[in-house]
Every structure is written in C-alpha cells, then in structure tokens.
Amino acid sequence: METIENLFRRGRRQSCKTHFRAIFQKLFRTLKSGLKVFPVSAMISEFNRRLFMPYLEYDDHGTIRRVNLAGDRETFIGRDQQCTICLAGVPQVSRRHCVVYFNTNLNAYALADMHSTNGTKLNGVKISQNDVTLNDGDRIQVGAIRFTFRGEQEQPDVKLVDPLNIDPLSYAPVIPSVAPGMQKNYTQNLTPGASIDGMVVAAVLSACDESVHYLLTDHEPEQRRTIKIFKTPQSDPEARKEFSDIISGFQSGTLPKTLLPYTGGGIRSEEYCYYTTDFQEYPSLAAMISARAPLDEKKTLPIIFSIIEILDDANQQSIFHGNLKPSKILYSQKGSLMIGYGLAAWLRAHLKNNFKQRPEWYASPEWFAGQELTWKSDMYSLGIIFYQILTGVLPFRAETEQELARMHAEDPLPFIKDRNENAKVTSVTEGIIRRMTMKNPKNRYSSWNEVLFQLKKANSLLEEQEKQS
C-alpha cells in the first residue's frame, strides 16, 4: 500500500490543488481503516512546504521554467553532471560554480560562490564564497544563464525541471563541493533565551562542524559577550588542561591592543571546551572580501599592511595564529583586531576529525603535514588572503582535503592574470605574494618588518605610476 510520504513525493509533479485533494483523500481512507498515520501537523507542514516552496526561475527561449529548492538539501549549479542544475556546455561555468541552500543561522536561503573561475553575480554584483542572503526577486547570473530567486510564495503555473541539464561537456577544473557554512545538529545546543554564566543567549553568531559561536547579553545593553563552544567532547584530562592553560595565558592586560583577549574559558559540562570574549560590532575581513573583492592594488595594500602590523605586534610577544583566515580578522577603518589566536595546534591535535569535514583554503603546507606551526605559517595564510582580495578567487581549490593539501604543498601559485585577467597588479606586489607563500617556511620573508618594507616599495611604485599617468 502506498504511504502518505510516497504520495507526497509522487505529487511533486501534480498541481497544488490536486496534491492537496489527494493527501486528504488518502488521510480519510487511512483514518477510516483505523490505521496509524503521522501527525496532522506534520502533514500540514509538508503541504505548506510544497505549496509555498521557494524556487529558481529562468527563461528557456521564451518558456519560464523553475527548479524547486528544498530546505533539507543543497542546490549546486555548475558543469558537473552531478550538480542539481547542470550547465554543461555553457561558457564560463565551473564544474561546481555556486550553491543555494537554506542557512539555518540566517533562517533564509543563501547563495555562495564555490570559488568559481569567473565568479557568480547577484543582482549584477560579484559575490565571494561567503553566504549572501537571498530575497524574493534576486537575480543570479552563472555564465550566460540568469536565474531569478522566488521566495516562499504560491508558485505560478510554470514548467518544473528536475534537474536542469544542458548537453554534457567535458569536466571543467575541479571546484570545491563542500558548501560554505555547513549546518549540523549542535552537540552543545543553546537556544535564544537560555541562561549561561549569568548572561542570556541572544543569538547564534555562527556555526560549523567544529564549534558554535553565541552572542550573550545582560540587562545592560553594553554588556555583550560571545561564547564559542567546541562540539567535540574532551574526555582526555591532558587535552582539557592544555586548553584551559592556553586560554588563561591570553587573558592578561599585557596583550597587544590589536588582539581581542579571551575573557574566560575552560570546560563546560565537564566535557566541552569553550572560551568567551567581549562582543565586537566590527565585520570580519571575510565579509569585506565577500562584498567587495576583487579590489585594486592601491586599496588592497593598506589592508594587508594593517593586518601585518597586528601579526607583528603579536609576534613581539611570541604569539601567532597558526591557521589564519579572513574570518579571524575583524576589519575596521579605525583599527583591526585578530581573534581566535593561539589555538591552532590544539585544535589540529584534538579536533582533527572536524577539520577533515571542511576545507582549509588558507592553511599552510606545514599545517596540513602536521608539522610545527610558527608565525611564518601566518605569513603563508596571509599571502593566500592577499591573493584572494586582488583576484576575487582562491589560488587553490579541490574537492577533498587530501587534494587540497597536495596543491598547497606541491603546486606553484597560479599567476594572478591566470585567475583574473582583469586584475591589474604590479610585478612587485605579485613577487611579494609569491615570497610569502613559498612552500618551505625558511624561504619566506625573515621578518614581518621585511614584508612591510616591500609593501611600502610597492605603494611608492604605484604612486609614481599615478603621477606619470
């Protein structure tokens, strides 16, 4: 006998009215026979999801078509035949170009570029790999194909396509298949309104397989903190003690002002490691890259200069990050801050299974190899960030951790023009990036001051060129 769940799936290609009638006819027959069914609330929820399901709409030679979006799965767009929307044969489309999925933190559908070669445009503006909230009517452009996002509303009578597939073509260069901002069930799940350490959970700031980051508030508006809880239980007393010692060592008032100090931390519920900091309103460098990259060389140099000053200040006190990435820099014109420093070696040793579930785009070769991390590991990561700001894309991209590690360890850094033909970068600046990202740490710059000196030379060259033009 066909189940109600199967009827839902079969009804996907029926009209909403026919689908609705079929559901309740089946429900009536089932109740009449005395059989158990799933709750009516679940049935209504499923019906609403079908009736008001968001979708992508596109024009196929005058015929309006749509591709439904499901909240429990990701919709990949690209040239790969395994993509939900396969654009094989369409120029300037990467193998896995971009992804649309329901972001539970944002409580909305989001779009993210998958480090494509030619980029993804939203309403005419190129986006990066970070999630961008979609609103009804937003226009998404992938190569020459334009989609319109339709939010949760009753669907018009248009032709359903599942999946969209244009003539197959040979595979394009490999693009990461790991969706940004992966959402999982939290091991330490705190809901808004919950009380912790005398404060109230106001919101979830971010979440990944490794940890959950919450905003805490008090009755006073200025009393706001954040707490990051790592989701892997730590039964090893040595690991827990090591974590507590690291956090307590970075709470003193002797830290550089450019480092956001930990205000507390330790072990929660005798298993889960956590730390707290004061809340900062500044956006991360990742948000800036997502909204504005690629930037021209003149605008990029001051950003990198300010980050190096932070790293140099930290290095003066033998502090380094170890796994630097844009999300660890809070970007502000008044002065940037570095967060999450000092924990890279501990995280790699005790949360290694979590790291395997997400791509480490900025990690140094020594990070992947399990070798000792130093301030020169940060130099490599910053070189990758430098490259991304100028080009709008990452130099290395792969579908597996093993392949990504191999690329960082062996493959030469692609020339900037090869990744973005419109980027205008002087040979001096490109040379700086290449030196920063040498595979062997010994071949990188010997000090942060040396990098700053070279950046000043590059800036002077740009100013001289502007005077002559």
Radius of gyration for the chain, computed over Cα atoms and rounded to the nearest angstrom: 25
**DSSP letter assigned to residue 254:** T
Specify if 179 maps to a domain: no
Same domain, 354 and 397: yes
Domain holding 357: CATH number?
A: 1.10.510.10
Residue that wins the pLDDT comparison between 82 and 403: 403
Buried b vs exposed e over 52-86: b needs ≥16 C-beta within 10 Å? ebbbbbbeeeeeebbbbbeeeeebbbbbbeebbbb
Q: Please determine, for residue 409, whether its predicted confidence score (pLDDT) is greater than 90.
A: yes
Helix (H) or strand (E) holding 10: helix 4-10
Q: Per-residue pLDDT averaged across 424-452, rounded?
A: 97
Domain holding 140: CATH number?
A: 2.60.200.20
Q: Which two tokens stand for residue 222?
A: 């200025």
Place of tokens 């609330």: 41
Place of tokens 């809901």: 191
Identify any residues that bridge with 9 across adjacent strands, giving them in sequence order: none
Same domain, 389 and 289: yes
Place of tokens 């060259």: 461
Decide: 86 and 94 in contact? Cβ < 8 Å: no
Residue ending a domain, choose from 249, 278, 307:
278
Same domain, 295 and 274: no
| Count of domains observed in the chain | 3
Least confident of 132-136, 274-278, 362-366: 132-136
Which are the contacts of 358, defined by CB distance < 8 A and separation ≥ 6?
A: 178, 182, 208, 209, 210
Least confident of 206-210, 278-282, 304-308, 310-314: 206-210
Specify if 303 maps to a domain: yes
What is residue 168's predicted lDDT score, i.e. its pLDDT?
A: 29
What is residue 182's predicted lDDT score, i.e. its pLDDT?
A: 32
Q: Please determine, for residue 221, whether its predicted confidence score (pLDDT) is greater than 70.
A: no
Residue ranges making up the domain that contains 242: 194-278
Q: Which of 251-260, 326-335, 341-350, 369-378 has the highest mean pLDDT?
A: 369-378
Q: Per-residue pLDDT averaged across 47-60, rounded?
A: 67
pTM over 0.85: no
What is residue 101's predicted lDDT score, i.e. its pLDDT?
A: 86
Per-residue confidence at 52, pLDDT binned at 50, 70, 90?
low
Residue that wins the pLDDT comparison between 369 and 266: 369
Per-residue confidence at 62, pLDDT binned at 50, 70, 90?
confident
Residue that wins the pLDDT comparison between 407 and 265: 407
What is residue 207's predicted lDDT score, i.e. its pLDDT?
A: 73
CA–CA distance, 431 with 434 (Å, rounded to integer): 5
Same domain, 363 and 437: yes
Per-residue confidence at 234, pLDDT binned at 50, 70, 90?
confident
What is residue 354's predicted lDDT score, i.e. its pLDDT?
A: 53
Same domain, 337 and 316: yes
Q: How do the residues of the chain divide into helix, strand and coil, expressed in percent and rounded to 5? A: 35, 20, 45
Nearest CA-CA partner of 273 in 349, 364, 372, 338: 349
What is residue 219's predicted lDDT score, i.e. its pLDDT?
A: 63
Q: Please determine, for residue 442, whether its predicted confidence score (pLDDT) is greater than 90.
A: yes
Distances, alpha carbon 71 to alpha carbons 50, 107, 157, 183, 463, in Å: 11, 10, 22, 12, 50
Least confident of 28-37, 148-157, 379-388: 28-37
Same domain, 462 and 334: yes
Residue that wins the pLDDT comparison between 224 and 168: 224
Residue ending a domain, choose from 94, 129, 150:
150
What is residue 432's predicted lDDT score, i.e. its pLDDT?
A: 98
Question: What are 19-36's pLDDT values in tens digits?
Answer: 445 445 555 554 445 444
Q: Per-residue pLDDT averaged across 360-377, rounded?
A: 94
Decide: 461 and 428 in contact? Cβ < 8 Å: yes
Per-residue confidence at 48, pLDDT binned at 50, 70, 90?
very low
Least confident of 26-30, 251-255, 347-351: 26-30
Full DSSP string of 291-359 = HH-S--HHHHHHHHHHHHHHHHHHHTTT---SS--GGGEE--TT--EE-STT-HHHHHHHSHHHHTTS-
Q: Please determine, for residue 364, whether its predicted confidence score (pLDDT) is greater than 90.
A: yes
Same domain, 360 and 457: yes
Residue ending a domain, choose from 91, 118, 150:
150
Per-residue confidence at 126, pLDDT binned at 50, 70, 90?
confident
Least confident of 247-261, 350-364, 427-441: 350-364
Residue that wins the pLDDT comparison between 75 and 11: 75
Q: Please determine, for residue 189, whether its predicted confidence score (pLDDT) is greater than 70.
A: no
What is residue 208's predicted lDDT score, i.e. its pLDDT?
A: 72
Same domain, 387 and 297: yes
Question: What average pLDDT is seen over the chain?
Answer: 78
**Phi, psi (rounded to 5 degrees) for 126:** -70, 135
What is residue 35's predicted lDDT score, i.e. its pLDDT?
A: 45
Per-residue confidence at 185, pLDDT binned at 50, 70, 90?
very low
Place of tokens 């979830």: 204
What is residue 29's predicted lDDT score, i.e. its pLDDT?
A: 54
Q: Please determine, for residue 272, whether its predicted confidence score (pLDDT) is greater than 90.
A: no
Same domain, 303 and 410: yes
